[in-house]
Amino acid sequence: MKILVLNCGSSSIKYQLFEMPENAVLAKGVVERIGEEQSQATQRSNGETLTMAEQIADHEQAMQAIERMLTHDEKGAISSLNEIDACGHRVVHGGETFTGSVICTDELESVIDAYSELAPLHNPANLTGIRAARKMLGNVPQVACFDTAFHQSIPKVAYLYALPYALYREHKIRRYGFHGTSHRYVAREAATYFDKHKYAVDLITCHLGNGCSMAAIKDGKSVDTSMGLTPLEGLVMGTRTGDLDSAIIFHLVRKGYKPEVLDKIFNKNSGLLGISELSNDVRDLEQKEKAGNESAKLALDIFAYRIKKYIGSYLAVLNGCHAIVFTGGIGENSVAMRRRILSDLGNMGIELDDRKNTRIVGKTGEIQSDKSRIKILVIPTDEEGAIARDTYALTMEDVLV
Ligand code: AMP
């Protein structure tokens, strides 16, 4: 069974074609700069790279480009789209409606549309992708996997802000949390790694990529997470502020900043980039720090400090845990960042082994010392693979029913 997984952004579509149930990747690609003068598409399949540069006006044309890439005579993965049995979509906001992945219907599309208000940058693009795929793939079942779904187990005491209750009742202002597919994936992988049932692990999971979030996981279920109503709250990220005093907004508004300008500053010009005034990329900053750059060092220190604070608070939430799990581009690969975060936590039962830490890069493995009470695990995330598995499970159910 072949499953296409799509992750549609406002100007890009990332895709992977899987053979299931093996979860083997047949092709992986991206169409970028949709709507710009010169769009670009790249695909890897069977060790071959295929690139295309042409104007792609919208998501429908992008889907046609993906069809041409997937069915390319020499460098494609299939001979016709008819070979695709199901399609899975990443959808960012599922609000309070979805606790798991679901089959797409017209009704579902209107619910996703309704949540666009809470995720204006993401949900409209996700929906455009679903509509384009439904048009192109005809009756092939489509599945939506929500970033928010795994966090729907978070209790009210953790998801409610200390605002007038009416704002929750009337406008659904609350913590939703994101990166759920990744937190769930690494939590399940960690359970398997420790040979425990998926509901028998207490974990702190750290998804550290360009976007960063952490989750407190009790008995395999998310009980708290660092992102909130939107993916802006919590950790310092590549270009996002994470936590800050909301009164900063009122202060800057009084100084003449418009809400749309502040939105851009907080989401696109802050975080590592804002502090360092150099880059949003940890690799770049680590190189600059080595060359003696103080701003790069400060940005990396602040990034690590925020994570350390969340580890402390989630240890209290969970009353201790089995393991801290690192994933995402930074969590999987940056030996120096893991060292920075985990230094001086010995009294809390967390101790890194420097040799193991250096060896585990981009692969699964434990990196704690023998003395550490809490295990420290690195697990490469696989959000697309998790979406493919959900899609497979739901569409197989559909076939069986
Ligand atoms: P992601 O969004 O998961 O692709 O992660 C992107 C982030 O991972 C960027 O900040 C990269 O600098 C960082 N990253 C990727 N590889 C490495 C590496 N080998 N060392 C340090 N940071 C890395």
Tell me the C-alpha distance between 293 and 53, whole Å: 38
Torsion of CA 302, 307, 311, 317, to 10 degrees: 110
| Element spanning 96, H or E | none
Question: Ligand 1 test: best mutation among 237, 290, 326, 333, most atoms within 8 Å of CB?
Answer: 333
| Domain 2-146 and domain 196-383 have a common topology | yes
Catalytic, 147? Answer yes
Q: Which CATH number fits domain 196-383: 3.40.190.10, 2.130.10.10, 3.30.360.10, 3.30.420.40?
A: 3.30.420.40
Cβ–Cβ contacts within 10 Å for residue 252, how many? 16
pLDDT tens digits for 357-366?
999 999 999 9
Phi and psi angles of residue 250, each rounded to the nearest 5 degrees, phi first: -60, -40
Class of 2-146 in CATH:
alpha beta
Nearest CA to 141 out of 394, 401, 400 is that of 394
pTM above 0.75, yes or no: yes
Domain ranges of the chain: 2-146, 196-383
Question: Ligand 1 test: best mutation among 179, 212, 330, 341, most atoms within 8 Å of CB?
Answer: 330
What residue spans of 80-164 are helical by DSSP H? Answer: 106-114, 123-137, 156-159
> CA angle 352-354-358, nearest 5°?
120
pLDDT tens digits for 301-331?
999 999 999 999 999 999 999 999 999 999 9
pLDDT tens digits for 33-91?
998 888 999 999 999 999 999 999 999 999 999 999 999 999 999 999 999 999 999 99
Distance of CA 399 to the CA centre of its chain: 30
8 A C-beta contact, residue 89 and residue 133: yes
Question: DSSP code of 46?
Answer: T
Collapsing DSSP to helix, strand or coil, 338 comes out as: helix
Tell me the C-alpha distance between 273 and 359, whole Å: 28
